[in-house]
A and B are shown apart, each in its own frame.
Chain A
Amino acid sequence: DTGVSQDPRHKITKRGQNVTFRCDPISEHNRLYWYRQTLGQGPEFLTYFQNEAQLEKSRLLSDRFSAERPKGSFSTLEIQRTEQGDSAMYLCASTPHSNTEAFFGQGTRLTVV
């Protein structure tokens, strides 16, 4: 499978716990994006990487959120001290260039109880 891969697909965690999600983009894509989607809403941009450099962060990304792409390949998104409001689908997308089509992974559905 050469598409964008995300792991895990589902995560249930207790409030206050830390969680980490992984995204493996399409191999030749140097841009990687993280989005969050809640019920009834479109995806909201969180952050993106060009290769290993994190070039943009949304105001939605509080200091409890951190993302890395250490070698310019896979990326991780960590949420510390999770809150019930963090419950959402976390989507990763990749694209070879800034202005071209972005392809999404299957998403990680987070439920904070």
Chain B
Amino acid sequence: QKEVEQNSGPLSVPEGAIASLNCTYSDRVSQSFFWYRQYSGKSPELIMSIYSNGDKEDGRFTAQLNKASQYVSLLIRDSQPSDSATYLCAVKSLGGGGADGLTFGKGTHLIIQP
């Protein structure tokens, strides 16, 4: 059973500070990792993907992957009130049996305090 774990929060961060979101996964053969942002009542919006160990930066967002520790994180620099949302970590494995779809965590609710 593939599992993706996230702290549900809420995680409260002052405006302008760095928000750090964490995710662990159970399936060692996982190959692809994604962060989605979801506003209340809306569908998930892809914000970052990462496929290899290390850091990947895109604007204010940095994704970090450590496959040995089965850990992926998302940093949001200069947090803005508009970043307040639920952040979903999603993991994809290659091949084998079971679903080809993404396995999602329950999400972390992030609140940016003005």
Which residues of A pack against B, CB within 8 Å? 33, 35, 40-46, 48, 55-56, 58, 89, 91, 98-107
Assuming the contacts A55-B100, A56-B101, A58-B99, asked whether A91 and B43 have C-beta atoms less than 8 A apart, the reply is yes
Query: Considering the chains assembled together, what is the distance between the CA atoms of A48 and B92 in angstroms?
Result: 14
Asked if A33 and B101 make an inter-chain contact with CB atoms under 8 angstroms apart, the answer reads yes
Our pick among B90, B94, B106 for the contact of A98 (Cβ within 8 Å) is B94
Asked if B45 and A104 make an inter-chain contact with CB atoms under 8 angstroms apart, the answer reads yes
Assuming the contacts A42-B88, A99-B31, A99-B32, asked whether A105 and B101 have C-beta atoms less than 8 A apart, the reply is no
Which residues of B pack against A, CB within 8 Å? 4, 8, 31-32, 34, 36, 42-46, 49, 51, 88, 90, 92, 94, 99-107
Query: Considering the chains assembled together, what is the distance between the CA atoms of A44 and B90 in angstroms?
Result: 11
Residues of B within 8 Å of A107, CB to CB, are 42-43
Assuming the contacts A41-B106, A106-B43, asked whether A101 and B100 have C-beta atoms less than 8 A apart, the reply is no
Given A42-B90, A91-B43, A101-B46, 11 extra CB contacts under 8 A: A42-B88, A42-B105, A42-B107, A48-B101, A98-B92, A99-B31, A99-B51, A101-B34, A104-B44, A105-B43, A107-B43
